[in-house]
Amino acid sequence: MERAYNFSAGPAILPVPVLEKVQKELLSYKGSGMSVMELSHRSDLFEEILGDAESLLRELMHIPENYKILFLQGGASLQFTMVPMNLMAGKKAYFVNTGSWSEKAMEEAGKIGDIEVLASSKDKNFSYIPEIPRVPSDAAYLHITTNNTIEGTAIFTPPETGDVPLVADMSSNILSSVYDVSKFGLIYAGAQKNIGPAGLTIVIVREDLIGNVAGLPAMLDYEVQAKNGSMYNTPATFAIYVSKLVFEWIKEQGGVAGIEALNRKKAGLLYDYLDASSMFSSPVNKADRSLTNVPFVTGSPELDALFIKEAEELHFENLKGHRSVGGMRASIYNAFPYEGVEALTALMEKFVATHKGGEIHV
């Protein structure tokens, strides 16, 4: 069958050329007679994959030399614990609360030490990014979520924090928008949205933030992970391999800047349609809209459900909004094609013509 239009928030769509290369190399990687899934993580072949993945990511994000790149496991959810364990060191951590994932990060950090909310958009159901005041100079760090997968908002310009480390959960927009890594103390991201398969987590951490807390469990210690080159235990070898191929693909698209330009074009097409539509609308403040996750609604739960049903029948998959928000959500990550957004807006327009006035015809 033809490939579906996959709007999943994660695990998400991967570039077709990457999938084709994985398919081609699946049974025998570089003539080894073994799949990457079967290679020893200590083999020369896998160490080459890991080294290339790190070099490509460093090049794509212009990561300075005084930052370590770690290929870990446990998802962003484990980083909600690892970050405070490694960075708090008896100080208070501050958070910008912009949605569900911010709240989960705050909850876990609160189990490790003192936290405080510096700014929040909870008053309007996280439909905007709040003004972020200056963080106290004695803070352990300030934590932000650069893209809110569920609520559909994004922070494109990070706040100035002076000497206080800025920590960012970039799980849903890493490599989708250009950021100056030197503005951050630590960046973490689950791979399953814009990078590769589920099971891999990327951590980019400034060297001076490593090794400042003694007695941590080895698996949760950035110093141990860095000293062992992300191989204290067996890493997510296949996910790292696919991620390396995605990094190569992004480089071919003109790097992160080229990808961001395409993402702005895709998101612009969808938002322009929503703003002009007589039925569909975006609940997100215009200035803060995500490029990668676009929630939208009709205003009628019954029409929302009918639209999702009709879309699925035509292989427009995973458009149902998150259970905490409802409505619909189109996740249009890096690998999602422009023509898929065109097809979605055409489908929406046809739905409006059929159900104008709110009538439900079955």
Distance CA 301, CA 306 (A): 9
Please say if 169 is a catalytic residue. Answer: yes
Residue 95 has what DSSP assignment?
Answer: E
Distance CA 347, CA 250 (A): 29
Asked if residue 181 lies in contact with residue 187, where contact means CB atoms within 8 angstroms, the answer is: yes
How are beta strands 186-190 and 201-206 bridged, if at all? antiparallel
Measuring CA to CA, which residue among 230, 205, 215, 244 is closest to residue 73?
A: 230
Distance CA 156, CA 168 (A): 12
Cα of first residue to Cα of last residue in the chain, in angstroms, is 27
Distance CA 343, CA 274 (A): 14
Task: Give Cα separations from 240 to 231, 255, 330 (angstroms).
Answer: 12, 19, 26
Catalytic residue among 193, 244, 266, 320: 193
Q: Which two tokens stand for residue 270?
A: 């969808």
Please say if 101 is a catalytic residue. Answer: yes
Task: Give Cα separations from 40 to 37, 184, 281 (angstroms).
Answer: 9, 34, 51
Catalytic residue among 44, 68, 91, 101: 101
Please say if 193 is a catalytic residue. Answer: yes
Element of type H or E holding 115: strand 115-120
User: Any residues with CB less than 8 A from the CB of 224 and at least 6 apart, and which?
Assistant: 216, 218, 232
Q: H helices within the chain, ranges in order?
A: 16-25, 44-61, 75-87, 100-112, 222-227, 237-252, 255-276, 301-313, 338-355
User: Any residues with CB less than 8 A from the CB of 348 and at least 6 apart, and which?
Assistant: 273, 277, 279, 280, 307
Catalytic residue among 68, 111, 169, 275: 169
Distance CA 200, CA 8 (A): 18
- Give catalytic residue positions: 101, 169, 193
